Amino acid sequence: MKTFGYKIGFRKRVSICFVWAGVISFIVISKIHASADEGLPWAVLSMGGQSKSAMVVEKKTQTLYLYTLEGEQVQVKKKACSTGKSLGDKKTGYDNRTPEGVYFFEGKVKEKKRKKTRGTTAYKLDYPNILDESSAGPGKPVLLTVSQKELKPMDTDGSIAVEPQAMADIEAGLSLDDTPVIIVEELGTCPVTDKNDDKKNVESLEQLLAGWSRAMGSGSYHDVLAYYSKERMPDMDWWNAWARVRKDAGAHGAALVLGISDKSFYRDTGEFLAVFRMSLSGGTSSKDMGVRKLYIRQEDGVFRIVGDETKKTLAGDSRNPLLTAAKGLCEDSKQEYVDNERQDVLKTLDAWIAAWTSGDISRYGDFYSKSFYSTGMKKKAWLEKKRRLGSVNRNIQVSIDKTVVEFRKDQARATFMEDYRSSGHSSKGVKTLILVKEKDGWKILKETWVKTK
C-alpha cells in the first residue's frame, strides 16, 4: 500500500452500531451502545466488492464477530480473540495497543517472515492508514494471526490473535482486497438516521467518483485538483508523464479509459472512505490497477478528497499504478497500431497490383499521392508513362514476395521482390515504395526499382 503525501489527524471514533441497509457500502462509527446480533454492521450499508463478509473486533469483550451475507440473510459468528496488552487506541508502534478504526488486509505474511510467537497463519492489516499517520510511527505490524499458545484476553503486542478453527472460518469468506476489519473498544447502537440524507450522500459520493475518474482519464491537471481539499492537495509530480503517455496512446488510436468497479463506501462520523477497483483500458487491452481508497469529507457542503491510497497489483512504478498501467497499454497500443497499419499497407499493395494488372490506369492512379515524385516525374507524367507502356505490353502479370513494411513517423516503407511479366517485357527486381497516410488511406509518395541479376 502506498500513500500520496497526506498527513491527516482526524480524531478516531471507537464504538459501532448494527443494522442491515442494502444499496451502497458505508461504515459509520458511533458512540452509542447496543447488540451485535441485529444484522450487518450499520457501518456496512452494502458490499459492492468481491467480499461478502465483514469483521468487527470488540476489544472490551475480546470478541471477533464475523458477518457473512448470504443472499439477503446475514450470518453472524462469534469468535474469541485476544488484542493488545495495553488499553486504549494505538498511538505508537511499540505501545502494545490494538488500533481502532476501519482497516483492510495488505496480504498474507509469508512463512519465513513470521515469528513463532505470531502464529502459523497471519495477515497484515494496513495500519497505519491515512487517519493514523499523524500519531503512528515505525513499529511492529498489526496482524490478524493464529495464536500458537493458549488464547488469553489482551495478551498480544497489538495484533489480533484467534484460535486455528476461528481462522479457518475467517479464511472461508475472506477477500484480501476488500474485507473490512472494524476494530472498536465497544459495540454501539444504531442512531436514528434519515434515509433520504443517506441516499443523498450516496449520490454525491457516486458523482464525486464519476467526475474524479473522468478528470483522471481525460481531464487536465486542474480538473483533477478540483476534487481535492485545498488543505490536502495530492502529490501530482507524476501528472506530466501520465499526460504524455495518455496523448501518445490516443495518437495510436487507443484512447485510455479509466474504469471503476466493485465500489464500497464507508463513513467515520464526518469522514468517508471510498474503496473500489480500478482498471485502465486502451484499444483491445486492459490493465487491473488493484484497489484504491479515497478518504473524503464534506467542505462547505461539497465532498472533497483529503487522502488517497492504492493497493497496487502491478509491478513497476510503486508510487502510481496508473502510470505503470498507462505505459504498458501505450506500448501495447503502439504494437497493435503498427500491426493494423501493416495489414492496411499490405491490402493497399494487393489492390494496387490488381489495378495495375487490369490496365485501368485511372484506378491505378488512385493509389498515388498528389505529391508523388519519382525518377524525375510527378504523378501526371508517371501515369502517362504507364499508359504508354500499357498500350504496348499486354497481359500484364505482377507478383511480389518477401515484403517488408517499416514505419517512420507518418510514412511507411514497403520493400519487396517484384516479378513483372507481360507480352512485351519481363523483369525481376527489388521495388521500394514510400507511402504516406492520407484521409482516404495509404498513398504512394515515391517509387524506386533495382533490377536483380
Going along the chain from its start, the domains and CATH numbers come out as: 6-187 (2.40.440.10), 195-332 (3.10.450.50), 359-451 (3.10.450.50)
Contact between 276 and 209 (Cβ < 8 Å): yes
pLDDT band at 317 (very low <50, low <70, confident <90, very high): very low
Q: Does the pLDDT value for residue 11 go beyond 70? A: no
Q: Does the pLDDT value for residue 287 go beyond 60? A: yes
Q: Does the pLDDT value for residue 245 go beyond 90? A: no
* pLDDT tens by residue, 95-150: 999 998 888 898 888 876 656 545 678 999 989 888 776 565 667 899 999 988 89
What pLDDT score was predicted for residue 201? 80
Q: Which cell numbers in the block locate residue 156?
A: 498480544
pLDDT band at 51 (very low <50, low <70, confident <90, very high): low
Q: Does the pLDDT value for residue 13 go beyond 60? A: no
Contact between 67 and 45 (Cβ < 8 Å): no
Does a cis peptide bond (omega within 30 degrees of 0) precede residue 128?
Answer: yes
pLDDT band at 362 (very low <50, low <70, confident <90, very high): very high
Output the CA torsion sign for 313, 317, 321, 323.
negative
pLDDT band at 48 (very low <50, low <70, confident <90, very high): confident
Give the mean pLDDT of 304-333. 73
Q: Which residue has the higher pLDDT, 5 or 51?
A: 51
Give the mean pLDDT of 244-271. 81
* pLDDT tens by residue, 30-41: 332 334 445 666
Q: CB neighbours (10 Å) of residue 107?
A: 11
* pLDDT tens by residue, 374-406: 989 999 999 999 998 888 888 889 999 999 999
Residue 329, φ and ψ in degrees, nearest 5: -65, -35
Give the mean pLDDT of 251-280. 82
What pLDDT score was predicted for residue 46? 61
Cα–Cα distance measured from residue 325 to residue 444, given in angstroms and rounded to the nearest whole number: 37
Q: What percent of the chain has pLDDT over 70?
A: 81
What pLDDT score was predicted for residue 101? 84
Q: Does the pLDDT value for residue 360 go beyond 60? A: yes
User: What is the chain's mean pLDDT, rounded?
Assistant: 81
Give the mean pLDDT of 280-288. 82
| Strand arrangement of the beta sheet that strand 257-268 belongs to | 2-3, 302-311, 285-299, 271-282, 257-268
Contact between 295 and 307 (Cβ < 8 Å): yes
Q: What percent of the chain has pLDDT over 90?
A: 39
Q: Does the pLDDT value for residue 437 go beyond 60? A: yes
Pick the range with the lowest mean pLDDT from 74-78, 191-195, 310-314: 191-195
Q: Give the DSSP H or E segment for 57.
A: strand 53-58
What pLDDT score was predicted for residue 19? 40
Q: Which residue has the higher pLDDT, 15 or 368?
A: 368
Q: How far is CA 188 from each of CA 17, 19, 31, 82, 267, rounded to the nearest angstrom? A: 4, 11, 6, 20, 15
| Whether the predicted model's global pTM rises above the 0.85 cut | no
Contact between 368 and 444 (Cβ < 8 Å): yes
